[in-house]
Amino acid sequence: MGRAKCYAIALVLLCLLLVVKSSVTQTCGKRKVVNQLIVNGTEAKDGHWPWHVAIFHNNARTFVYACGGTIVDQNTILTAAHCLMTSNGIIARERLVVQVGRNRLRVASNRVQEHEALVLIVHPEYIVNRIQHDIALIKLAADITYTDYIQPICLWNRGNNLNLIVGSWGTVIGFGRDETDETSDTLREASIPVVSHITCIESNRKAFDSLLTSNMFCAGNRDGVVPADNRACNGDSGGGLFFNYNDVWFVRGVVSFTKPRQNTLFCDTKEYTVFTDVAKYLRWIGQHIHGIGGQPVAVEDSNNRKIGLLPMSTCGANRYASRNESTKPIMLGYPWMGLIECTKKVTFDESILCQAALISDMYLVGLAQCAKRIPKCFISTVRLGDYDINKSKDCAQVDGQEVCSPPVQTLRIQSVIAHPEYNQPRYANDIAIIRLRDRADTTWINVKPICLPVTHELRSQKSTHYIHTSWPLLEFWRTDTSVNLLERSIGEFIDSIECQNMIRAANITIMATSRQICIKQQNLRSESEECKKAFAGTPLQLVQQVDGESRYVLYGMLSFGPASCTHLLPDVYTSVPSYMDWILENIQE
């Protein structure tokens, strides 16, 4: 096993009774998958350690595995404080990605859930140089969905006397460096005994005498009973040391540090590993665990009144709710689609610039790039309720009958509020709020708003596939009139780590972040047909339960993608749930 630094593995013990929305009792520390399987440690089988977390840092366009962690509840991760630090202090939360349910670092799996951080909480008395109080919590922006492969651990509840566990064998897990000093692709586990402070200090006074405190303990093998390398190493930091009592697992330690080998940064497998003693921090942890059970609540209380400006009782109309998505008629099926028109400053000609999504009769959500990237024109109007962009009257065959929609509403734009941190880094924070001068008439069947993920529950929804709807852009324009029609496709989700690897392999200088959603391109045609690309601002949607009804909810807006159609590169969408607080702060009466 290994660590990202010369620090050992931190353990987290948590015993919480969680009640999920389904009203089914959720218990901690219980394996749901029955399986039998760190340096020389054995490979852990899928589901064997469902509370383990992989933490990644985004460094210069590359997601790098940094540390382990442990699921405490649906939105809290326990880890080591040093796992959240850089040379400039605490890492920016936008540069950190948390993945749960991962058993392989380099192999994608639909069991994995990816989460962005909302708040990073480092213990207030953490001392970097002396490695004291090396413990931290990550509060997630969205709730974890528990599965057989993703479960919380129990916090230690058996007292904080170290003598109770001295001589006991715990299990440490992680993706840390293996016996070849390479980061392990597979999650590994190792059983190690806890030793007394005296034993630890006397084993190497120079390494431990000045650092070891009563809030730490040592564990490992130095007597040859089992392989000495069967322990934590670089990359295992932040992960837990776990103990089993009556088939329930508890976290007692968090990997903190080990002594490095001479003239290297790698751990010395002949030395003990030092753990932060979770039992000494239960009160501090408890101060940051709110809403046991992870019940869904609206985002930021101060914005609750703003939610009243959104049509939550009528949004996301699902006209064909009884049908499978791929068989639903497209016409009148997605009535929140908006086309942003750009007026040239010299000729005053108008052209379609990008797409946006109607969220109320006064507002749309779009992209910041659409307001900033065209210096020779200005966005002037929004077209709502369109289907065939080249016809003034839209009609189509629906279930064998011709159905026509009301005319398009073309409305003037009053203002555009682009996110203040747009393009920092490139294409990041690519989102804008568009306010209309006059209200859209949402009583028309072809003009309806989509729902926003305003509750914590909706923000927490993760899916392997998303719905996107767009008018296509052609690489080679032809006269075929079918290319002017609104189209729908189902896109497959790609996690941020795989997404960034694909972008980097193509030598593109764009950094995918945890506030974006990467989608595999699905719109390739045969060689005899045109390759169709979507407009910037194409909405990404899911059907969710809102106020007891099946409705469409907006989850993303297409921000950038490859210039050509290819499966080698993904389309990248701005994640709308990541910006819900900002959206609510900026909409007005």
* Residue linked to tokens 């050509």: 564
CB 434 within 8 A of CB 340: yes
Section 212-224 average pLDDT: 84
Q: H or E segment at 10?
A: strand 8-10
- The CA distance from 252 to 35, in Å, is 23
Per-residue b or e along 379-409, where b marks 16 or more CB atoms closer than 10 Å to that residue's CB: bbbbbbbbbbeeeeebebeeeeeeeebeebb
Percent of the chain past pLDDT 90, that is, above it, reads 48
The reply to whether 134 belongs to the active site is: yes
Q: Is the pLDDT of residue 24 over 60?
A: no
* Residue linked to tokens 């369109």: 386
Q: Work out the number of other CB atoms within 10 angstroms of the CB of residue 307.
A: 17
Find the catalytic residue in 46, 115, 237, 394. 237
Section 242-257 average pLDDT: 93
pLDDT score of 460: 86
Digit-coded pLDDT (tens) for 85-95: 988 899 998 88
The reply to whether 419 belongs to the active site is: no
Q: Is the pLDDT of residue 293 over 80?
A: no
The reply to whether 178 belongs to the active site is: no
**How many Cα atoms occupy the beta-carbon half-sphere of 517 within 13 Å?**
29
Q: Is the pLDDT of residue 580 over 60?
A: yes
Digit-coded pLDDT (tens) for 132-155: 999 999 999 889 999 999 999 999
CB 282 within 8 A of CB 156: yes
- The CA distance from 469 to 32, in Å, is 38
Digit-coded pLDDT (tens) for 30-61: 988 764 434 444 566 678 899 999 999 988 66
Section 584-589 average pLDDT: 89
Q: Report which residue type is found at 546.
A: V
- The CA distance from 395 to 296, in Å, is 41
* Six token digits for residue 35: 């399986």
Find the catalytic residue in 52, 82, 419, 456. 82
Decide: helix, strand or coil at residue 486: coil
Q: Tell me phi and psi for residue 287, to 5 degrees.
A: -70, -20
Q: Tell me phi and psi for residue 145, to 5 degrees.
A: -95, 115
Q: Work out the number of other CB atoms within 10 angstroms of the CB of residue 91.
A: 19
- Which pLDDT band, with edges at 50, 70 and 90, does 524 fall under? very low
Q: How far is CA 263 from each of CA 6, 268, 504, rounded to the nearest angstrom?
A: 12, 11, 32
Section 59-68 average pLDDT: 83
Q: Is the pLDDT of residue 481 over 80?
A: no
Output the pTM of the full model: 0.77
CB 148 within 8 A of CB 33: yes
* 154-155 and 248-258 beta bridge pairing: parallel
Digit-coded pLDDT (tens) for 410-444: 999 999 999 999 988 777 899 999 999 999 999 99
CB 463 within 8 A of CB 542: yes
Find the catalytic residue in 134, 178, 229, 571. 134
Provide the mean pLDDT of the chain: 81
CB 573 within 8 A of CB 516: yes
* Six token digits for residue 86: 């850089």
